[in-house]
Structure 1
Amino acid sequence: MADRTDPRLTIARRELGSLRKEKTIVLALVLQLFIAAFSSFLVVGLVSLYDPGQVQGTEVDIAVTGDASEDLIRAASEVRGVDAQYYRSEETALRAFHEYRGTGIDAVLVAETRDERVFVRAVAPDGNVQTTVVVVQLREVLRSFEDLKRTQRAAYLDSLPLELPPETSSSPYFGFTYTVLLPLLLFLPVFISGSISVDALTEEIDRGTLELLRVAPVSMTDVVDGKLLAAAGLAPAQAALWVLLLELNGTSVSNVPALLVLVAAMALLVCSVGAAVALLAPERRAAQLLYSLGVLLVFGGTAVFPNGPINAAARLAIGSASGIEYAAVGAVVIASLAAYLGLRGIVGRVDPDAL
């Protein structure tokens, strides 16, 4: 009985089997698996890099001196994780800083009044692991001090200024998870799939094995479709696994079907572009360079739009999506279909013997 298996599925299975030998791809998958599996721990560590003041248990001791030290200490008391101590002179404060750094005084603030203005000079540790935390906390103290002075001087104005709207506090972990971590796990597989589609065709051309595939009863379109199916199919499969691992780590993700459709459409779009580049520029390095530049320009351009794929993914995951976000998903789907049809047109015009 004749084998009626679709040749595109056969080529896709062959392509997926060969990916296990690619150490770079395997390492990339392992890295994504690690990020998704231990996301709850990584979020705390990564947030501490750009907002160290949010790390619980961080305590910074500051020596405050100068004629405006009273107000500065009052402002520092409003900042969590800061203990401000008064010193009579700048010399004693600096001596305490240099002699007991790490165990006592972590920084020095000298506040002096000149011409009805307060000038604050800060001394922080240089080249220390704790430097970033100290600098961030000093910044918060100075902001609190600025607000305090503005409030005090408002009493001398002829008319009271408008009241500022109440401050709203939000968890940096929440924002980092849905605006950085989740898009990273969703779209990084898309980039990798596009790179795979480029390599899959350029390697066949470089090694001359494309001719062997054409000996079989398959067309050039079947070959490209099979490789495209293997590369583009990886991204939504990985995204589904990463979302599952996020759920197990306590990160709730809403609108999972819409997110998977978005990832699948992006993967088809990027892989179609990658395959087209590989056919038009068969040399591997040139093809990868053109693909990388194109993807960076496209994603960099869409990232600035409030309703681009990245922001749409974040809003969908949070559960605050509106019709605009679903329209963005639909636009990506249409664009991916157009890119695939364009690839089919390129395949039909490319002469395999010339590759």
Structure 2
Amino acid sequence: MRDRTDSRVTIARRELGSLRKEKTIVLALALQLLIAAFSSFLVVGLVSLYDPGQVGGAEVDVAVTGDAAEDLISASQEVRGVDAQPYRTEEAAMRAFQEYRATGIDAVVVAETRDERVFVRAVAPDSNVQTTVVVVQLRDVLRAFERAERTDRAAFLSSTPLELPPETDSSPYFGFTYTILLPLLLVLPVFISGSITVDSVTEEIDRGTLELLRVAPVTLHDVVDGKLAAAAGLAPIQAGAWIVLLELNGTSVANAMALVTLVAGLALLVCGLGAAVALVSPDRRAAQFLYSIAVLFVIGGTTLLPHGPVTAAARLGIGSPATADFLAVASVALLAIAVYLGLHRLVDRVDADAL
């Protein structure tokens, strides 16, 4: 038993040593390290891409025209960074928009009433760096206008419309950090570990070195376990390091042990699938394609669940998990064990002499 353990450890060390020569893997690790180490700076820049209104200096001047212009201008006052100016005609507003350098008008909004309904048409700059800022600010203005209109007309409606989600004053930085950044740093190492497993197994088969390993003597079980230990073991180590770096950057992450356990389970699950795919389809390109499809269905499908791994990671990191989130961690761990046992049954059926 000790000999087998030593063989697996030796293979795992050999795998880790070979990863240093893989520039793509090293670059991916360095990129994750950069994101985790400078998360506090990156969050500000990334949030500004989808919510420019949160960044100081993002001022948008809008020319508003039409018979419902007054109501829309009133609603725009609730949106920070928007200055809505009334224009008598659409032609005058468009002329001011085209003469941007002289007037400073960034967009045009036409609000007209037809059949007791308000129709809004917006014009934003095309192929301009400022386009994203303008579009997002116009979106917020129209949302505020819709809420105001629904409130004013609610008493005259024959049926109650679908309720809008409640307005929130939470910081977008908080939401971005825990719903995007943290899950990204936790899940990305899992994908990389699975890809490493696929490449490692198929490379051994292509080069014929798998036979040399078995002559050592090393069984196919030892080879697979050693490669799994090296690849799957990297993910929870990275996750722990990223959590520490986030803490150093001022982002508090709760339930760290549960998150590392979740990553460890996902890594074993994904790497087990990768190894199985590599044994069934030894061709490297075909194996990577099948692995990508399998991961897409497994991880992508779980995002549809109300308490999937990604959602559970966000809730655990924030510090407000439900019982179902801990059950999700346990389910991933159990599924990973099942995949590992299934992989060993597959190894028993594989005729290593034919590889």
Asked whether the two chains share a fold, i.e. TM above 0.5, the reply is: yes
- Aligned partner of 1:286 in structure 2 is 286
CA distance in 1, matches of 2:264, 2:161: 53
Instruction: Tell me the residue number matched to 1:219.
Output: 219
Matching residue of 1:316: 316
Question: Are residue 349 (structure 1) and residue 349 (structure 2) matched?
Answer: yes
Q: Structure 1, residues 181-203: CA drift from partner, whole Å, max 9, x if none?
A: 11111111111111111111111
- The alpha carbon displacement at 1:138 in A equals 1.8
Using the TM superposition, give the Cα deviation of residue 215 of structure 1 relative to its aligned residue in structure 2, in angstroms: 2.0
Secondary structure of 2:45's counterpart equals: helix
- Report the residue type matching 1:342 in the other structure: G
SS at match of 2:305: coil
Cα distance, 1:172–1:192 mapped onto 2, change above 3 Å: same
Which stretch of the first structure deviates more once superposed, 85-94 or 124-133? 85-94
Q: 1:112 to 1:271 in 2, by over 3 A?
A: closer
Shift of 1:114: 4.3
Q: Deviations over 1:75-108 (max 9, x none)?
A: 2222211111223333332222211348611112
Pair 1:212–1:59, CA change in 2 (3 A): same
How many Å separate the matches in 1 of 2:276 and 2:153? Answer: 65
Letter in 1 for 2:231: A
Name whichever of 342-351 and 95-104 sits farther off: 95-104
The CA deviation string for residues 153-200 of structure 1, in whole angstroms up to 9 with x for no partner, is 456679999998863322222122111111111111111111111111
Which moved further from structure 2: 300-309 or 171-180? 171-180
Q: Secondary structure of the equivalent of 2:49?
A: helix
Cross-structure match for 1:68 = 68
Q: Kindly tell me: are residues 202 and 32 of structure 1, through their superposed partners in 2, closer, same or farther at Cα, counting changes over 3 Å?
A: same
Alignment of 1:78-89 (within 5 A): 78-89=78-89
Q: Which deviates the most, 81-90 or 178-187?
A: 81-90
Q: What CA deviation, in whole Å up to 9, does each residue of 1:206-239 have, x standing for no partner?
A: 1011121122132221111111111111111111
| AA of the residue aligned to 2:341 | L
In 2, distance between residues paired with 1:160 and 1:299?
Answer: 38
Aligned to 1:264: 264
- Does 2:32 correspond to 1:23? no
- CA change 1:86–1:268 in 2 (3 A) is same
Aligned pairs for 1:1-355 (under 5 A) are 6-101=6-101, 104-154=104-154, 167-355=167-355
Quick check: 276-285 or 52-61, which moved more?
A: 52-61
* Whole-angstrom distance in 2 between the partners of 1:313 and 1:134: 33
Cα shift at 1:150: 3.7
Distance in structure 1 (CA, Å) of the matches to 2:163 and 2:305 = 32
Number of residues paired by the alignment?
A: 354
Higher mean Cα deviation, 144-153 or 23-32?
A: 144-153
| Cα offset, 1:118, TM superposition | 3.7
Give unpaired runs (5+ residues) of structure 2. Answer: none
CA distance in 1, matches of 2:174, 2:155: 39
Please state how far the C-alpha of 1:339 moved relative to its aligned partner.
Answer: 1.1
Deviates more, 1:27-36 or 1:50-59: 50-59
Once residues 267 and 162 of structure 1 are traced to their aligned partners in structure 2, the CA distance between those partners, rounded to angstroms, is: 42
For structure 1, the 5+ residue unaligned runs are: none
Normalised to the residue count of structure 2, the TM-score between the two structures is 0.91
Q: Which moved more, 1:343-352 or 1:286-295?
A: 343-352
Structure 1 stretch displaced more, 220-229 or 160-169: 160-169
In 1, are the aligned partners of 2:97 and 2:103 still within 8 Å (CA)?
Answer: no
Letter matched to residue 241 of structure 2: L
Secondary structure in 1 aligned to 2:61? strand
Go from structure 1 to structure 2 and tell me whether the alpha carbon gap of 1:100 and 1:284 turns closer, same or farther (over 3 Å shift).
closer
Cα offset, 1:140, TM superposition: 2.1
Q: Provide closer, same or farther for how the CA distance between residues 4 and 336 of structure 1 changes in structure 2, counting only shifts above 3 A.
A: closer
Worse-matched range after superposition: 337-346 or 103-112: 103-112
Q: Following the alignment from structure 2 to structure 1, what is the Cα–Cα distance between the partners of residues 11 and 264?
A: 20
1:196 maps to a residue whose letter is: I
